[in-house]
Chain A
Amino acid sequence: NAGVTQTPKFQVLKTGQSMTLQCAQDMNHNSMYWYRQDPGMGLRLIYYSASEGTTDKGEVPNGYNVSRLNKREFSLRLESAAPSQTSVYFCAIELDRQGAYTGELFFGEGSRLTVL
């Protein structure tokens, strides 16, 4: 998993509850990403962070907030969970080489979220 740790690995929520998915890297890469994967589909980008303190929306940001308070951690928050947010969530880092972005992503093992 290239040093990308996601917690929790599994979570069940009721509609309207809130929760935060945590992602931490043990390296020093600048860019971090959150994706979701629905059954039978590829991954879709929710938010990304090109550097500490910056975040940008991806393809499907509605219903989510993110926070990049330091270089190591990137969290994804669901303020009021909905059944449509039942999915597997993946965090990824973008490999830096000598301070330059490479465009190559490495993924964590995923967090499976079920909203009832």
Chain B
Amino acid sequence: GIQVEQSPPDLILQEGANSTLRCNFSDSVNNLQWFHQNPWGQLINLFYIPSGTKQNGRLSATTVATERYSLLYISSSQTTDSGVYFCAPRGDNNDMRFGAGTRLTVKP
């Protein structure tokens, strides 16, 4: 199956700072999603982004499928952004693989 590597594994920010999370994957993919798992364990869809760039408020994501990576940008971070961010690319065999995640802590 697809190998997924996310970096950094942990990130601590001061409120208001910007950050970039990276997701590298080993094979070609049909699609890719970014999720935020909040401190209560809920998985929240952020982006469905097989290629290109999308923006939603303070968050944006870019996937360059030909180079096998995706980036998640968080601007003007807030304490409510804390949690774990997962990327999940999906290959031809219908197998969506999750990375180990980036744990983000935003301090007030």
Interface string of B26-60 (1 = CB under 8 A from A): 00001101010000011101001010000000000
How many chain-A residues does the 8 Å CB contact rule pick out?
24
Q: Tell me whether B74 is interfacial, beta carbon within 8 Å.
A: no
In the complex, chain B residues whose CB is within 8 Å of the CB of A106? 45
> Smallest CB–CB gap between A56 and chain B, Å?
8
B48 adjacent to A103 (CB under 8 Å): yes
B1 adjacent to A40 (CB under 8 Å): no
Q: Tell me whether A107 is interfacial, beta carbon within 8 Å.
A: yes
B99 adjacent to A107 (CB under 8 Å): no
A43 adjacent to B95 (CB under 8 Å): no
Q: A103-B48, A104-B45, A104-B48 are in contact. Are A45 and B96 (CB under 8 A)?
A: yes
Bound-state Cα–Cα, A102 to B45, Å: 14
How many chain-B residues does the 8 Å CB contact rule pick out?
23
Bound-state Cα–Cα, A59 to B30, Å: 18
A40 adjacent to B100 (CB under 8 Å): yes
Q: Tell me whether A71 is interfacial, beta carbon within 8 Å.
A: no
Extra contacts besides A104-B45, A109-B41, A110-B42 (16): CB < 8 Å: A41-B101, A42-B4, A42-B88, A42-B99, A42-B100, A42-B101, A43-B98, A59-B97, A90-B43, A103-B90, A104-B48, A105-B45, A107-B42, A107-B43, A110-B41, A110-B43
* Chain B residues engaging chain A, CB cutoff 8 angstroms: 1, 4, 30-31, 33, 35, 41-43, 45, 48, 50, 86, 88, 90, 94-101
